[in-house]
Amino acid sequence: MPINPKAKLVENILEKAKLEQSPTRKGYGEGLLAAGEANEKVVALCADLTESTQMHLFAKKFPARFIQMGVAEQNLAAVAAGLANYGKIPFISSYAMFSPGRNWEQIRTTICYNEVPVKIAGSHAGVSVGPDGATHQAVEDIALMRPIPNMAVINPCDANEAKKATMAAVGINGPVYLRFAREKTPVFTAPETNFEIGKAEIFWDAPKEVRLPEGSRTSQKLDVAIIACGPLVHNAILAAADLEKEGIKVRVINNHTIKPMDEKTIIEAAKDAGAVVTVEEHQIAGGMGSAVAEVLAKNYPVPIEFVGVQNRFGESGTPDELIEHFGMGVSHIKEAVKKVLKRKIK
């Protein structure tokens, strides 16, 4: 079975209708509560979106450690930086369009320049926000956060992983950006699925076969590697299952940590496959795919195709309609794979 047994995923991963559906922001709320229970230094600040960002769970249990900042995203970041400077571990929450969208300079200067351990939770990211439309659909936030020195960037694939990522962020002695979605999406990782910041996970892999001699630009093991992040990892797995039926050998990597990226796993996939497709619910420019391309351009160049938002603003619609409309559905991933295979170096 191509599903990697080491990944410990749910058994019915290919049956979307049977999977639990839960938004990654819910995993964040549960993870923040658990982090607060485990560490009294954890505090929480919100910009008037407590329930929407699922921070209400923490606020209800730890009211003395919760601050409602109101609609003041710049103050949200600056106050959190001050608390962190005095030994607290602040989590700040808003829609990603407003934090980091509206308070980027405060995040850069008061948090990252001082390298204080503020954790920034950007909720409602991507076009799957739905009918709220372009003004609320953050598809540029990874590109905003990734270039800032000292900032880690994480985009969990489902609610279970979001909870783990939130708890793990407490242990990072520096700034972390955590990216979450509004819409319910499939929960396909198990509570015991491995998660480590900076370590990508192989969720789907072709059966092992004899590889060609060292230094060859091709391999008998794989045809293509699909590197994905966020809830679209599940679409990548569904695409891989269809492609396997057509005789195309695929590896799917859950690249949840965009910075610092697991360069070893990315480079090994490029060497094994000789072609890569990246998948993300974000602008192609400056996103996770760009980060992958930077790693491979320096270490092992191969043909790459990018699945994501192609230099457009969002639109209103249902989440599923918008994923399809912007070319990020299962069929689009399969098309990108077939396109990159035509460019593959033989």
What is the C-alpha R_g of the chain? 20
By CB neighbour count within 10 A (0-12 exposed, 13-18 middle, 19+ buried), where does 261 fall?
A: buried
Question: Which helix or strand (DSSP H or E) is residue 252 part of?
Answer: strand 250-254
What amino acid positions are annotated as catalytic residues? 73
The helix (run of H) or strand (run of E) holding residue 4 is none
| Residue 138, strand partner residues | 125
Q: In sequence order, what are the beta bridge partners of 93? A: 46, 121
41 close to 59: Cβ distance less than 8 angstroms: no
190 class by beta-carbon count within 10 Å (0-12 exposed, 13-18 middle, 19+ buried): middle
